[in-house]
Chains A and B, each alone.
Chain A
Amino acid sequence: MQKPQYDLCCEVLRRLRAQRVLPYLVLTGSWCLLLYRQYFERDELFSSLRTRDMDFLVPIPLTLRDKINLPELFKDLGFLTEYKGTAGYMQLIHPEVMLEFLVPQRGRETDRPFDLPQLGLNAQRLRYMDIALMKPIKLMFEDVPIRVPHPACFALHKLLVAPRRKEAFKQARDIEIAVELLNLLFDRNDQPVLKEILNRFPASWRKTALKVLSGAGQETLHDRLAELGP
């Protein structure tokens, strides 16, 4: 990662921590992979290209007591508020990093952003994001402890969202990451965690995850994962 980008990310996290917002958030998306190097204790992992989006998952209902206006909090760093797409999801943009906020999509599918008045912004609703909240773990981003989804949750979530992707390259990337993470988890004998997560899945989710693996020609991984299911 480039130094200015890394420094800016650290500053963003430090400010969120100082405002006591960080413990409520879960870092998701490709930046988690960087932190998973700590979990797997291997620095060479996940060195592939990363986009600038830094996604924060907000558990709902958000029980934050004090209101904090995040666009104002980051304004002096040069962040601007941008409304993305026709639905108008808010994004805080900067040449080094783009901050996005997500909430789990529950119930009927809708494009409407989810208002988060406690944070002074809105968030994009995404399906299956509850998985990322099932078993968060704490890892260090420089000197800042931050919650990220357990790699097992991250991998299984990727398998579920892959078929929903419109762009073929994103679908391929989701599967590639899921496969890499699952292999690492099996190597580390993390089957109990995978089993625990899979057991909390509805049958249709387990079926989709396995279908994606066999569709990608990952038969061995498919069989190993199928063995863990109920």
Chain B
Amino acid sequence: MAIREVLEEELENSLRMEQRYSEELSRLPQGSLVQKRIKGHAYYYLVLRDEAGQVKLIYKGKVEPEEIARYKEIKQQRAQYRNLRAKVRGQIRFLKRALNAKAAV
């Protein structure tokens, strides 16, 4: 079997995949919800980074349980997509190395 062509096809797939996971990550709402207790009452802040990389806290006040659950789900999804994108990036590095090594032979 032509290994080189198969590796090239797999590299193309991985590059496409990396782009899709990046797109999906950018579509997810930014930030995580954190709870602060002030005088026994729970208040929520949205923690996110601005364009300069600075951490920003946006006061949200009292938040409905459905919204808390939604942010939790988004956080999990973001972690999963980041993880999978990192895996794809590892595959891309491996495939590029393998293709370069084959070209050098």
Residues of A within 8 A of B (CB): 48-49, 51-52, 78, 80, 82, 93-95, 98, 167, 169-170, 172-173, 176
Contacts of A167 in B (CB 8 A): 5
Query: What are 16 A-B residue pairs whose CB atoms fall within 8 Å in the complex?
Result: A49-B3, A49-B6, A52-B13, A78-B84, A80-B17, A80-B20, A80-B21, A93-B16, A95-B14, A95-B91, A98-B13, A167-B5, A169-B1, A173-B1, A173-B2, A176-B1
- Inter-chain contact A49/B87, CB cutoff 8 Å: no
Cα of A159 to Cα of B32 in the assembled complex, Å: 55
Known: A49-B3, A51-B9. A95 touches B17 (CB 8 A): yes
CB-defined interface of B69-105 with A at 8 Å, one 1/0 digit per residue? 0000000000011011001100100000000000000
Interface size class of chain B, counting residues whose CB lies under 8 Å from the partner chain: 20 to 34
In the complex, the answer to whether A93 meets B81 with C-beta atoms within 8 Å is: no
Q: Which chain B residues have a beta carbon within 8 Å of chain A's beta carbons?
A: 1-3, 5-6, 9-10, 13-14, 16-17, 20-21, 24, 80-81, 83-84, 87-88, 91
Identify the closest chain A residue to B2 (Cβ). A169
The answer to whether A82 touches B16, judged by C-beta atoms less than 8 angstroms apart, is: yes
- Main secondary structure, interface of B, reads helix
Whether B5 lies near A78 (C-beta < 8 A) is no
Q: Are B20 and A82 in contact (CB under 8 A)?
A: yes
Q: 5 other contacts beyond A48-B1, A49-B6, A82-B16, with CB at 8 A cut-off?
A: A51-B9, A80-B21, A93-B13, A93-B16, A170-B5
Give the residues in chain A near B17, CB-CB below 8 Å. 80, 82, 93, 95
Cβ A51 vs Cβ B16 within 8 A: no
B14 CB contacts on chain A under 8 angstroms: 95
Q: Is the CB of B1 within 8 A of A49?
A: yes
